[in-house]
Each structure stands twice: as structure tokens, then as C-alpha cells.
Structure 1
Amino acid sequence: MTLTWLDEPTVDALRAALRMVAPDLADGVIVPRGLEPSDDPQWCGASAEVDGRFVVKFAWAQPPARRICYQVRLLDVLRVAVPWLPLPMVVASSRSPAMLVTRRAAAMPFFDIRRLITPADRPTAAGDLAAILAGLHDPEVLVAVSAAIGPLPGPMAPASTDTLRARFGALIRSDQRERVSTWCDWADRALATPGRTVLVHGDFHGDNHLWDRESLRLRLVVDWETAGTGEPEFDLRCLPGDCGVELFTATVAQYERVSGTTLDTDRIMAWHLRTVLGDALWRAEAGVALPDRRTPAQWVDDLEARFTALGTFG
């Protein structure tokens, strides 16, 4: 079937598409998320809640339309290859127009519950994170998925250190610029040789793993459209900032225990550095506020605190 997408980023266009893909939802209450025009076709995609019970992913350009269809196919394969993985429940999907409808889970993004995790809760939370990631990274999972789908893409890489050296200095204090340059040199050394190859989620940040507020257990992992081949450390790169150093180190220890493999913390922190600074860079240059409404300079101070707490040279 030919791949198509919405003509425009509007609720009316989405409602018309739902009449073709999931007619029972077309007259529901639609609350869009990220439904904003973009000059870059790469980012012409969004999601919406329908009646508070369903989540719809859709696109109005080819690149995100392809990612939606890739995610649909990957979810089908993962459901067979890794049946215990907490995946979204697919209600409907389509290539024309590209759309994925899943049932909304009674769970909350990690960002909304992380402050509730006490030191006593930490081992269980770390165990949940480690079990999901270590299980996904099992070599047999990559073999099964590759056999079903074929060659897989690599995940979307964060900003390069060359980009950060050239452009990030304008966003921070003069006393921080040399420090960031030194960090970039260190990251280059840490990532100079390739790591082992596994299936990675590719975007495992706190909005993409959902938790039960009462039990503080991980219930669902969403947004698989950038999954592909990469190194295990890449998938843990958001945890130092999202979880805090204590939960991050507990997760690494649990991961190594359940998987029987070793993680390279320097590699994780090198990816973390590029991810954090790259996120701050594009947001600042696009005039988009950082998620916590602070400044790139403050994010640099946070990074330094994490490097210090971990005893990592940065």
C-alpha cells in the first residue's frame, strides 16, 4: 500500500484521517500534543489523545510517516520476540495515511513520579529499569528482530562534539567554555572505538517509560520509532539526568547483574554529555525553552555535578 500522510497539521485533518483508520474515534474529543507547523519535514509529526483513552501518532510529511510505519512493524515483531516487554496495545494502524492508534495506559511518565521514589524504593525501580533494558539488549532479540524486518537503522545520534565546540560556547558563561571543550575531547576518547551492537530503544528518556503512581513500578515503554542497532550504553544515556546519580548507578549495577555483561560508565556519560548539551543547543537556537525553564549555563553546572558525583573525568 502506498505511504501517505495528512495534508496539514490540524485537528480537522486528523479527525478526517481517523474516519478512515478508526471510525469509532473520529467524533471523540481530540487533545493534540506537539501539533505545530515545522519548516523541517523531519519533525512534521505529532500525537494526540482521543477521549482520554487512546493515543494517536500521525504525520504531515514523509519522514515521520515512515517512522510511524516502522514502529508499527517493530511492535508486531517485538510482541512475538519479547512477549514480556511492556509494549503499547495497538488498536489500529495504517499506511495511508500513516497512523498508529494505541490504548492509553493508566500510567504516568517517569518525570511525573521520580520525586516519589525514596531510597527504600530505589532497588525496585532500578530493577525495573535494568530488567527492561537488559532484556531488550539480549543478542537473541536483535537476531529475531533483524530476521523479521531486515537491516535495522541506527538510532538518531545527538549533536556531535564538533558542533558543540563550534556553537555551544555562545550560550554559556565565559568561565564554562574551556570546561565544555575539555569534556568534548574526553567524550571523543571515550567513544573512539565502537561498542557492542544490540537492539536499542533509541530514545529512552523519562517521557517514554511510564510508571504506576501507587506501586512505583514500570508499566509501559512507548515511542519505538527510533529503535534500531546501537550500543547498550546509548540507551542509558538519559538516566543520569532523568533519574539522578543514585538511581542511575543502582540501575547500572542491576543491569550488569541480570545481564551478566559490563557497562562502560564513561561511554554512558559521553553519550549523556552529547545528549544534554545537544538538547540545550537546538532549543536555544530555535527559541524553545528548556524543559525545566533554566539556562544552558545551569545545565552545564548540573553536568559538572554529575561528573563529580560519579568520579568521572569530564
Structure 2
Amino acid sequence: MRLTWLDEPTLDAVRTGLRTVAPDLADATIVPRGLEPTDDPRWCAASAVVDGRFVVKFAWAQPPTRRIWHEARVLDALRTAAPRLPLPEVVAMSRAPAMLVTRRVPALPFFDVRHLIGPAHRHLAARDLATVLATLHHPDVLRTVSEAIDPLPDPTTEAATHTTTDTLRDRFGTLVGPDQRDRVLSWCDRADQALAAPGRTVLVHGDFHGDNHLWDRHTLRLRLIVDLETVGAGEPEFDLRCLPGDCGIDLFTATVAHYQELTGTTVDMNRVMAWHLRTVLGDALWRAEAGIALPDKRTPAQWVDDLTARFATLGTLN
């Protein structure tokens, strides 16, 4: 059966899709999230909370339709490959139209609780993050998922998820002054050196930032990993790349220490920070060029200062 998608980004279209995919939910209350028209077909997708108990993902163009179906297949494969991972419970999945319905979990994005994680909670929070990534990165998990989904994409080379150092060299300099521009050029050279040789290959989440792991506000424990649309074959350092900024250096380094203990492997911090550089400056670049404010309402120059402090503290890309 070929993949299809909704005709338009409307609640009526969502209800029509649900009548096929999950008929019992079609007449329930639907609260959409991100249901906005866009001219770029890559982002013609959204989600909604249905009946207060379920989350449905859907699309109205082909590119995100493929991502939603990929996530549905990944979740199905991971039930066998890594049953202990805290993943959404799939209630219904469909190719025509492509929809994924999962059970809603009362938890908050990490960004909403990170200010609560102080020294007393750091050990357990780091252990939770490390355990999830170590489980996902286990060689047996890659083997099992690869058998179910062949070929797996490489998130590190997907155009929608990364910015090259050449792009940063060519375009980021217009956002900062001469001193910072020279600093960015130097970082790009060192990042290229750090990533010149291929890394170890594991199954990666591909977009492991603070909106994609959900936490219990009261216990400050990790409850759920979400948005697995970018899962594929990559290197472990790629999955760690958001943590230095999202978590802060203390929680990040604690997570790395736990990860190394759990996996018996060594994390290459220069590789992590090379990916971190490309992710942070890439995010700042596209937002600035699109006229969209940075998430924390600061400037690209201030983000460069943040990177300067992180690299100095970790002793990386120097």
C-alpha cells in the first residue's frame, strides 16, 4: 500500500483521517499543535492531542509523511530490539493516510524542568540520559532495527538536520563582528579535523534535544523519548551533540561519564563538540536568515560567546 497524506491542514481533515486510522477517536476533542499552513513541503506536518489521552502525528505533504511512517516502523522495531527504552505506546499506525497515534504521557520537555535539576539531582538525571542513549546505541539494537528497516538513513548527512562547516564559513560571518568571525572560521577548521575520520556506527535518535525527552516534574526522572522521525545509523557523538547547551556543562559531563561506564566505550569529546558547533551555529544561522528570533531571544554573537566558554571549559576544538 502506498503512502498517502491529508488533503489540507484542517481539523476536518484530521477527523477524516482518524475515521480510517482510529475510528473511536474521530469524534473526540482535538487540540492541534503546529497546525499551520506553510509553503515548504518539508514542514507540512503537525500533531494534536486527542481526547486528552492520545497524541496523533499527521502530514499534508510527502516529505513529512515519510518521516512519520519511518517513526512508526522504528517504534515497532524497537519494541523487540530495546523493550526497556521509555518509548511512546503505539495505539494505531497507518500508511494511508500516514498517521501515528500514541498514548499521551503526563510529562514535560526537559527544557521545562532543567532549572530544577541541581547538584542533588544531577547524578540520577545524568544516569537516566546516559542509560537511554547507551541502550539505543547498543550494537544489538542497530542489528535488529537494520533487519527491519533497510536501508536506515544517516541523520548526520540529512540536509534538514545539519549545517556544514562550509556553509558556516560562507554565511555566518555576516552575523558577528570580525573577531568572532575569525573565531568561527578557526572552529570550523578544527571541527573538520575532528570529524575527518569516520566514527563508530550505532543506532542514533538523530534529534536528541531537550524537547524530545520528557521528564516527571516531581521526581525529575526521564519518562519518555519522543519524535523518532530521524532515527538512523550514525555515530554516538552525534546524539550527544545537543547536551552541552541543553544541560549545561556539569550535567553534560556527568552524562558522558555514566555513558562511558555503561557502554565500556570512550566518547570523543572533540567529535561531540564539532557536531555541537555545527548544530548551534546552524540553528542561529537559519533563524537569523529567516527573520526568526533565537529561542532564548539573544543574538548570534552571544551564542558564539557561549560556545567560546564551553570549548574553554571542556578543552575542546582548541
Q: Provide the TM-score with structure 1 as the length reference.
A: 0.97
Instruction: Read off the aligned partner of 1:115 and give its amino acid letter.
Output: H
Consecutive aligned runs of 4 or more in structure 1 exceeding 3 Å deviation: none
Where 1:309 maps in the other structure, the secondary structure is helix
Match of 1:130 in 2: 130
Aligned counterparts of 2:24 and 2:51: Cα–Cα separation in 1: 11
Where 1:120 maps in the other structure, the secondary structure is helix
Match of 1:209 in 2: 213
Match of 1:48 in 2: 48
Structure 1 residues 1-314: aligned runs within 5 Å: 1-155=1-155, 156=158, 157-314=161-318
Aligned counterparts of 1:216 and 1:147: Cα–Cα separation in 2: 35
Instruction: Read off the aligned partner of 1:68 and give its amino acid letter.
Output: I
Where 1:39 maps in the other structure, the secondary structure is coil
Q: Quote how far apart the aligned CAs of 1:40 are.
A: 2.1
After TM superposition, the structure 1 stretch with the greater mean CA deviation from structure 2, 153-162 or 196-205, is: 153-162
Aligned residues: 314
Instruction: Read off the aligned partner of 1:263 and give its amino acid letter.
Output: V
Tell me, yes or no, if the aligned pair for 2:176 and 2:301 is still in contact at 8 Å.
yes
Aligned counterparts of 2:241 and 2:92: Cα–Cα separation in 1: 32
Tell me, yes or no, if the aligned pair for 2:109 and 2:211 is still in contact at 8 Å.
yes
Residues 114-173 of structure 1 deviation map (CA, whole Å, 9 limit, x = unaligned): 000011111111101111101111111111111122221111341000001111111223
Instruction: Read off the aligned partner of 1:92 and give its amino acid letter.
Output: A
Aligned counterparts of 2:68 and 2:130: Cα–Cα separation in 1: 27
After TM superposition, the structure 1 stretch with the greater mean CA deviation from structure 2, 9-18 or 60-69, is: 9-18
Q: Quote how far apart the aligned CAs of 1:75 are.
A: 0.6
Q: Quote how far apart the aligned CAs of 1:267 are.
A: 0.2
Structure 1 gaps, min length 5 = none
Aligned counterparts of 1:286 and 1:31: Cα–Cα separation in 2: 28
Q: Quote how far apart the aligned CAs of 1:15 are.
A: 2.0
Tell me, yes or no, if the aligned pair for 2:273 and 2:317 is still in contact at 8 Å.
no
Instruction: Read off the aligned partner of 1:86 and give its amino acid letter.
Output: P
Structural RMSD (CA): 1.2
After TM superposition, the structure 1 stretch with the greater mean CA deviation from structure 2, 280-289 or 256-265, is: 280-289
Q: 1:22 to 1:245 in 2, by over 3 A?
A: same
Residues 169-206 of structure 1 deviation map (CA, whole Å, 9 limit, x = unaligned): 11223331111111111111110111010100000000
Q: Quote how far apart the aligned CAs of 1:100 are.
A: 0.4
Q: Quote how far apart the aligned CAs of 1:38 are.
A: 2.3
Q: Quote how far apart the aligned CAs of 1:12 are.
A: 2.2
Structure 2 gaps, min length 5 = none
Aligned counterparts of 2:168 and 2:204: Cα–Cα separation in 1: 24
Q: Quote how far apart the aligned CAs of 1:313 are.
A: 3.3
Aligned counterparts of 1:15 and 1:62: Cα–Cα separation in 2: 19
After TM superposition, the structure 1 stretch with the greater mean CA deviation from structure 2, 273-282 or 41-50, is: 41-50
Aligned counterparts of 2:38 and 2:166: Cα–Cα separation in 1: 26
Where 1:121 maps in the other structure, the secondary structure is helix
Where 2:120 maps in the other structure, the secondary structure is coil
Residues 244-272 of structure 1 deviation map (CA, whole Å, 9 limit, x = unaligned): 00000000010000110000000000000
Aligned counterparts of 1:92 and 1:215: Cα–Cα separation in 2: 30
After TM superposition, the structure 1 stretch with the greater mean CA deviation from structure 2, 272-281 or 31-40, is: 31-40
Aligned counterparts of 1:277 and 1:31: Cα–Cα separation in 2: 33
Residues 210-245 of structure 1 deviation map (CA, whole Å, 9 limit, x = unaligned): 111111111110111100000000000000000000
Tell me, yes or no, if the aligned pair for 2:88 and 2:224 is still in contact at 8 Å.
yes
Q: Quote how far apart the aligned CAs of 1:81 are.
A: 1.1
Q: Provide the TM-score with structure 2 as the length reference.
A: 0.96
Q: Quote how far apart the aligned CAs of 1:281 are.
A: 1.0
Where 1:206 maps in the other structure, the secondary structure is coil
